[in-house]
Structure 1
Amino acid sequence: MAKNKSKSKSSAATASQGSGLNKLLLVLGLLTALLSSVIYFVEQNLNQFYIFDLKHLDDLSKRAIAKHGEDTRSVVQYIVTELNEKVPEHINLKEEWVFNNAGGAMGAMYIIHASVTEYLIIFGTAIGTEGHTGRHTADDYFHILSGTQLAYVPGEYEPEVYPAGSIHHLRRGDVKQYKMPEGCFALEYARGWIPPMLFFGFADGLSSTLDFPTLWDTTRITGREMINNLIKGKLPTAWLSVHLKNVGTGLERLWRDDCGQTVNSDRVKLKEGITMEVALEKAVVNWDTN
């Protein structure tokens, strides 16, 4: 009799574990489908999410150089000031410089803007560097503000030379060796699918320099700016809630139970009158203070 009870309990435990695993696999499958749909949508509609104009950035860089010459600090301030006048809600005015190690090269960067589809930074060094550009899922435009950048591709016998005022366009999927022989700073603008580029940006820190304080600062600033720009409409929360329907009723039901059901333009109403923007803003504050 005791043996039968033991077998019964064992069977019940096994069934419970199997049920839990099935639920986990179902949720993971639904989340994968959601992520895939988001990636596909963004990929097919990237132009809708760009807030910076290529011609304006080129003109702005040249005007800043013409006005301030070799005073690179003033050149950067001129650029950031005008960008803040044009799209104030999307510009980071905190000049938070952090080291950046990527592809064997080392310099420093100031993140002006970071989002899912674009980033705009000042990148450079006062003493020179050299490395691998990386092969990216976005077009990368280096607007050279001071100094000279060199680039090389296999099969060529002469370097590409980019002096101050020029643009080095690294096309999506391409790769080059690049060098800043001496001091050189650039306004670097990437447009495309940004999140996969972060792996390249973190690889050296995780495998070589092991500079974890710098990695944390980079993660904190990038995450804060990306979340801020999500809140401010670069990927509206209402769009996300509506498109949950495409991944099945299971995840949609979880969304309704946890977050409420009312969608008003670019706002999602949560329980107890809390909006999605308020919830995300609180998360950003906690992220930045921690």
Structure 2
Amino acid sequence: MTASHKPRKGDKSTSTSNSDSSTLRRWGFRAIFLALFIGFCQFANTINDRFYVLTPAELNETVQHSLKLAAALNPNSTNNSEIIISTLIDQLVEKHPEISWQTDFRNKKDWVFNNAGGAMGSMYLLHASITEYIIIFGSAVGTEGHSGRHTADDYFHILTGQQTAYEAGDLTREIYNPGDVHHMKRGVVKQYTAAPETWALEYARGWIPLMLPFGFADTFFSTLDLITLYHTVRVTGKEMIKNLLMGKI
């Protein structure tokens, strides 16, 4: 007669089996969640274009007009940054009164530093929603770093100075001067540099919140500048929430 065996409390084989089963369930749930999240992102990328208000072509026309106007107003100056930015903002407000714009760029309290991908610059937020943002971005002393691999298309409309970039495998650099547009395509990564006193109108279109971790990572793992992080979240969050309440996704 065969004796039956009942697992006793503390039986190591049973404990190990239960642990393995629990681990498999956890990873199964994670895999399902990841698959659903990827599927949602792919679906979202098919509909986000219906929420865009701005276009890169129209913005470049506005930039070109601002550059010409600034040169006419102050032909002898080697640096027309303030005039260019001022006329540019005035035109954006005039062309798109339906958009909520931040226009007081001379107020230093509304400028924030941005450390991302090893590069450091400062930015002034003109407009931010879930699918679009437009900022003045650059550096008075120059910078260099990693572009990031994003879920949005990023367009740098160069206002002053010069930006250069290249993708891995390229043996020559791309060069962008005032009036040029540097399109950093979604999913593509580059190393880029900005010469001293390079300023650009940066326009991103896509799912903007997914870009934020890249913009915050250097704070947590390098600069530990939590005050700047607070002001960045304050300014960006305020604009996104305000535009959501206005019906702008």
Scaled to the shorter chain, the TM-score interval is 0.7 to 0.9
User: 1:86 Cα deviation (Å)?
Assistant: 2.4
Match of 1:93 in 2: 103
Match of 1:151 in 2: 165
Taking the aligned partners of 1:135 and 1:41, their CA distance within structure 2 comes to: 19
Taking the aligned partners of 2:40 and 2:187, their CA distance within structure 1 comes to: 21
Taking the aligned partners of 2:167 and 2:39, their CA distance within structure 1 comes to: 35
Instruction: State the Cα deviation string for residues 163-220 of structure 1 (Å, max 9, x = none).
Output: 1110000111000000013220000000011111000100111111011110000000
1:51 partner amino acid: V
Match of 1:71 in 2: 80
Counterparts of residues 19-30 of structure 1 (less than 5 Å): none
Match of 2:59 in 1: 57
Taking the aligned partners of 2:55 and 2:172, their CA distance within structure 1 comes to: 31
Residue 207 of structure 1, aligned match among 221, 225, 228: 221
Taking the aligned partners of 1:180 and 1:230, their CA distance within structure 2 comes to: 33
User: 1:38 Cα deviation (Å)?
Assistant: 7.6
Counterparts of residues 238-257 of structure 1 (less than 5 Å): none
Residue 192 of structure 1 pairs with residue 206 of structure 2: yes
Counterparts of residues 139-178 of structure 1 (less than 5 Å): 139-178=153-192
- The TM-score normalised by the length of structure 1 is 0.66
Runs of 5+ consecutive residues of structure 2 not aligned to the other structure: 1-33, 72-78
Moved over 3 A (4+): 34-42
2:64 partner amino acid: K
Counterparts of residues 196-235 of structure 1 (less than 5 Å): 196-235=210-249
SS in 2 for 1:174: coil
User: 1:39 Cα deviation (Å)?
Assistant: 5.3
User: 1:78 Cα deviation (Å)?
Assistant: 1.1
- The TM-score normalised by the length of structure 2 is 0.77
Instruction: State the Cα deviation string for residues 16-40 of structure 1 (Å, max 9, x = none).
Output: xxxxxxxxxxxxxxxx9x9999856
* RMSD between aligned residues: 2.2
SS in 1 for 2:208: coil
Taking the aligned partners of 2:239 and 2:39, their CA distance within structure 1 comes to: 23
User: 1:90 Cα deviation (Å)?
Assistant: 2.2
Instruction: State the Cα deviation string for residues 34-64 of structure 1 (Å, max 9, x = none).
Output: 9999856642211111011221101111111
Taking the aligned partners of 1:174 and 1:41, their CA distance within structure 2 comes to: 20
SS in 2 for 1:122: strand
Taking the aligned partners of 2:133 and 2:189, their CA distance within structure 1 comes to: 19
User: 1:157 Cα deviation (Å)?
Assistant: 1.7
Name the structure where helix makes up a greater proportion of residues.
1
Taking the aligned partners of 2:151 and 2:162, their CA distance within structure 1 comes to: 25
2:236 partner amino acid: T
CA gap 1:40/1:172 in 2 versus in 1, 3 angstroms: closer
CA gap 1:35/1:93 in 2 versus in 1, 3 angstroms: farther
Match of 2:48 in 1: 46
1:83 partner amino acid: L
Taking the aligned partners of 1:65 and 1:93, their CA distance within structure 2 comes to: 18
User: 1:147 Cα deviation (Å)?
Assistant: 0.4
User: 1:233 Cα deviation (Å)?
Assistant: 1.3
Instruction: State the Cα deviation string for residues 236-277 of structure 1 (Å, max 9, x = none).
Output: xxxxxxxxxxxxxxxxxxxxxxxxxxxxxxxxxxxxxxxxxx
Matched-pair identity in %: 49
How many residues are aligned here? 205
Taking the aligned partners of 1:181 and 1:125, their CA distance within structure 2 comes to: 8
1:60 partner amino acid: T
User: 1:93 Cα deviation (Å)?
Assistant: 2.1
